[in-house]
Every structure is written in structure tokens, then in C-alpha cells.
Structure 1
Amino acid sequence: MVKDIPSISESEWEVMNILWNHAPLTANEVIASLQESTDWKPKTIRTLLDRLVHKDVVGVHKDRKIYTFYPLYSQDECQRAETESFVKRIYRGALKSMLVQFIQEETLSDEDIKELRSILEKNPEKKGLE
């Protein structure tokens, strides 16, 4: 079970990706980074930052003249929480059903199959995915 991490919207993920890669950052630095890849207005980005702070996903260093923002959860923790939420919502918690569907619909290379086998062999307690 993953820590109880608040849900993050698709737009908020964009902000988080910037912070995971470069934190701590000022709001203006986040805005500059996101304006390279989006057409979002500075006010939109500030709103997203504020939302993430209110959700307790992003922290703020307030001990400096200019506030800086930093993630309170790792990218891995957020990805795990999102995956768990997705599996519960879409597959009613049945990870096996999701994996079977992806494997049947994706073309897996020999290397992909080898990697999947290696993962299962390293985690014998996870072989019986239900």
C-alpha cells in the first residue's frame, strides 16, 4: 500500500516534473521552465503551484526573500500512488487483469519478455498477482 498521496492532475504533473528535476525553484523559474514546453500563462502556473502547496504535495521555503518550491514526495512515490489509484478505478484492483490486457495488446520484444521474467524471478512473492 502506498502512502496516502493526494491526487495530482495532469497539469500538476507537469509542474511536479520540473520540480523533481530541478528543485528548489522559485515560482518564476518554474514559470520559465514550463513556458518552454507549454503555452500556459504565468498566472495559470502560479495557480497550479498554489494547488500543489495546498494539497501538501509541494513545500515552500519561506525563510528567504524569494520563496522556493520543492516536492514533498518523490517521483516514484507519486507514480506508485497514481498506478494504485488507476488499478483500483479501472481494473477494480485486479493488477493481473491489467497486466494481461497490456501484455496481450502490446508487442513485446524478446528483451522485454526477458526483463519481465527477471523482475518476477527477483520478486517471488509477487508471482501470484491477483
Structure 2
Amino acid sequence: MTERISEAEQAVMEVLWEESPLTAQEVAERVPAERDWSANTVKTLLGRLLAKSIIGHEEDGRRYRYRPLVERADYVVGESRRFMDRLFGGKLTPLVAHLAERDAITDQDIAEIEALLKELKS
């Protein structure tokens, strides 16, 4: 994915990644209620995502049904890479060290990381 998406656009994408294709009204009904977005707000965000070629749409009578063109896993990989590049010079170790120094890593996290490292080594 070349274009970045905003936090608001990501909320719409989360809905579409969960279920698609959906109409704008269906997306609006599924966006978390605490956002308190109108259908017009959701339509604006869908328009932005269409312009970025992150979603596609197909006609269904007089309305459109929207679907993601980017898989969630691919989005996460790209965003993770950008985050590490921007804040930690593209290296994982300084990120983990940063979290560990601030007690942001639990014993459970450590056990999961150790298991992952064992799996990667074999």
C-alpha cells in the first residue's frame, strides 16, 4: 500500500475487513457507536479510501457496495515497518529495549517472545 490512511479511515477499514462488501449505510451502522459519525461522515471517508485505491466498489441498484482492496495483514506489515523505520531506525531490538525499560513488557509478553524466537530459530 503506497498511501497512508488516517485513524478515521482505519476505523472504516476495520469494519470492511470484518465483513464486506457493505453499503455506506451498513458501514455506518457497524462503526463503533462512540465515534458518533453520521452516514455522511462515513461516505466522506469511503470516498477518500476509494481515491487512494484502498477500497473498491460495485454498483448494487442505486447504491454501492464497498470492499477492501488491501488485506489487513498487508496493512499491518506496512504500518509496522514505517513505525520501526521512523522511530527506531528500522531495527526491532531498540523497540523492544524501549518497551522493556518502561516496564511495558509483561512476563507473558516475554514468554511469547521467547517461544516465537525458538520457533524462528528452528
TM-score range, shorter chain: 0.7 to 0.9
**2:40 pairs with 1:43:** yes
Q: TM-score, normalised by structure 1?
A: 0.82
Kept in 1, the 8 Å contact 2:99–2:105? The answer is no
* 1:89-130 deviation digits (Å, cap 9, x = unpaired): 122222221121112221412x322211111111139xxxxx
More deviation, 98-107/65-74: 98-107
Partner of 2:13: 16
Q: 2:85 aligns with which of 85, 88, 91?
A: 88
Kept in 2, the 8 Å contact 1:52–1:58? The answer is yes
SS class of match (1:61): strand
What are structure 2's unaligned runs of at least 5 residues? Answer: none
The percent of aligned pairs where both chains have the same amino acid is 30
> Matches of 1:117 and 1:56 in 2, distance apart?
39
Q: CA RMSD in A?
A: 1.8
Kept in 2, the 8 Å contact 1:5–1:57? The answer is no
> Matches of 2:36 and 2:80 in 1, distance apart?
28
- Map residues 31-70 of structure 1 onto 2, 5 A cutoff: 31-34=28-31, 36-62=33-59, 64-65=60-61, 66-70=63-67
SS class of match (2:40): helix
Kept in 1, the 8 Å contact 2:17–2:72? The answer is yes
* 1:27-79 deviation digits (Å, cap 9, x = unpaired): 111112226231222222111101111111111123x2131001111211111
Q: 1:115 aligns with which of 102, 112, 115?
A: 112
Q: TM-score, normalised by structure 2?
A: 0.87
Residue identity matched to 1:94:
K
Kept in 2, the 8 Å contact 1:5–1:78? The answer is no
